[in-house]
Amino acid sequence: MPFQIVQEDILTLRCDAIVDTADERFGGNSGLETGEAVVTESQLSNCPFLIHTAVPRWTGRGEELALLHRCYRSALQQVERFGFPCAALPPLGSGEGGFPEELVLKTAAEEIGRFLAGHGDTWLLLAVRDKSELRPGASRLAELDEYIELVRQREEREQQAMLDMASTAAFPAIRPDDLDRPDTAAFSARPHAARESMPKARKAFAHSSDGVPESGSDAFSEQADPACGSESMSPFDFSEIEHRAVLDESFSKMVLRLIDEKGFKKDSDCYNRANIDRRLFSRIRCDESYHPKKTTALALAIALRLSLSETRELLLKAGYSLSHSILLDVIVEYCILQRCYDIVEINALLFQYDQPLLGG
């Protein structure tokens, strides 16, 4: 994938260039100004070049954030200028730089995303020594933790409801005399009991149309789902799925259709935002039977800015689904509900929870 977060010492990475932080006095009389970047040869056996950039220190003044953006742009301009196929950089501004966590991540996401939008063939590694260097804001992590907990509690309640229903209304006790009767009259009450109990269970534990757990907060407000609450709906009624999932449209066809419908002028605008390289996307375009990894399918859903229902439909084409039993899926679902479609920010969240990163 064009962009990857790794937890390693940046000086040990094998790549063409490593971005190194320097102070304004770097190079003696050359006068490297804050926000500028220069390239020198490296003495490292694993990397032939170093890109030095002078990073500001955070004191709370507004111009420092602009200078941090400039550091990223200057360093990445050197990557472009020298044509480095692979470059590694640290989260500039973290650690001794003193920038707030959310600003470090936001700046890195914006500048790396902007660079990759036009240089999808360049491989960038964002190297961190520990997760605190690339941590989303405390409020974002707290909200995500709340969402994960709500999903967990919801799943437990639904499982318990199904168990209770199975042990009572749906499967009433069989009397010994029933076993000697050849007809099914003794069991005539069972379907009736099940029909009465199933709608109640669905109403009590129905998911919203976008799978949002119950909560008192506006961020997780629930809306009624007619499909889940309808008494005429049965567990084997696939009419809605058949309506949405056109059987003669493959995953590849759906992706290409969505690229046109979403107004992308060229394929690269999509696959760069999805953290997918050109060669992989070429396979998607040329092979109608292409079967993606789940992380690739999710990355394309993020790049296309799909809603939760559209994401489920795209995953269905590839034989996947969003599951509340998989932490990766829950985190991506949360990001979609929050309309967070920045692949770098999403991967930073996944990185915090030791989950696979999106891309291909």
Average pLDDT, the chain: 81
Determine the average pLDDT of the residues in 126-137.
88
Residue 359 lies in a domain: no
pLDDT above 90 (res 121): no
Residue 357 lies in a domain: no
For residues 205 and 43, the model is more confident at 43
What pLDDT does residue 235 have? 45
Beta strand spans in the chain (E)? 3-7, 17-22, 37-41, 49-54, 86-89, 123-128
* Dist CA 211 CA 36 (whole Å): 47
Determine the average pLDDT of the residues in 139-156.
93
What tens digit of pLDDT does each residue of 47-98 get? 999 999 999 999 887 789 999 999 999 999 999 999 999 999 999 999 888 8
Same domain, 122 and 156: no
Residue 52 lies in a domain: yes
* Dist CA 49 CA 41 (whole Å): 5
pLDDT above 90 (res 321): yes
Same domain, 201 and 260: no
* Dist CA 283 CA 163 (whole Å): 45
Same domain, 85 and 71: yes
pLDDT above 70 (res 286): yes
Residue 49 lies in a domain: yes
For residues 229 and 288, the model is more confident at 288
Same domain, 305 and 286: yes
The tally of CA atoms less than 13 A away on the side-chain side of residue 297 is 25
Same domain, 58 and 121: yes
Alpha-carbon torsion 131, 134, 138, 143, what sign? negative
Same domain, 163 and 100: no
Residue 8 lies in a domain: yes
In the chain, pLDDT over 70 holds for what percent of residues? Answer: 75
Window from 11-25, 73-87, 181-195, 304-318 with minimum mean pLDDT? 181-195
What pLDDT does residue 252 have? 95
Copy the structure tokens of residue 29. 């009389």
What pLDDT does residue 193 have? 42
pLDDT category of residue 138 using cuts at 50, 70 and 90: confident
CATH number at residue 45: 3.40.220.10
Determine the average pLDDT of the residues in 147-172.
82
Window from 52-66, 114-128, 180-194, 255-269 with minimum mean pLDDT? 180-194
Measured between alpha carbons, how far apart are the two ends of the chain, in Å?
5
What pLDDT does residue 62 have? 72
pLDDT category of residue 133 using cuts at 50, 70 and 90: confident
What tens digit of pLDDT does each residue of 204-261 get? 444 444 555 555 455 554 443 333 333 443 444 444 444 454 557 899 999 999 999 9
The total of structural domains in the chain comes to 3
What pLDDT does residue 356 have? 95
pLDDT above 80 (res 323): yes
Same domain, 129 and 26: yes
What pLDDT does residue 259 have? 95
* pTM attached to this predicted model: 0.76
Same domain, 216 and 262: no
Residue 358 lies in a domain: no
pLDDT category of residue 4 using cuts at 50, 70 and 90: very high
pLDDT above 70 (res 269): yes
Residue 53 lies in a domain: yes
Q: 209: domain range?
A: 139-181+190-237
Same domain, 297 and 316: yes
What pLDDT does residue 169 have? 57
CA 219 vs CA 29, 204, 335, 336: distances in Å: 54, 21, 11, 12
For residues 342 and 198, the model is more confident at 342
For residues 67 and 179, the model is more confident at 67
CATH number at residue 298: 1.10.260
Same domain, 12 and 53: yes
Same domain, 60 and 112: yes
Residue 326 lies in a domain: yes
Same domain, 123 and 212: no
pLDDT category of residue 199 using cuts at 50, 70 and 90: very low
For residues 237 and 10, the model is more confident at 10
Residue type for position 2: P
pLDDT above 60 (res 29): no
* Dist CA 98 CA 322 (whole Å): 38
Query: What's the gap between Cα 160 and its chain centre?
Result: 30
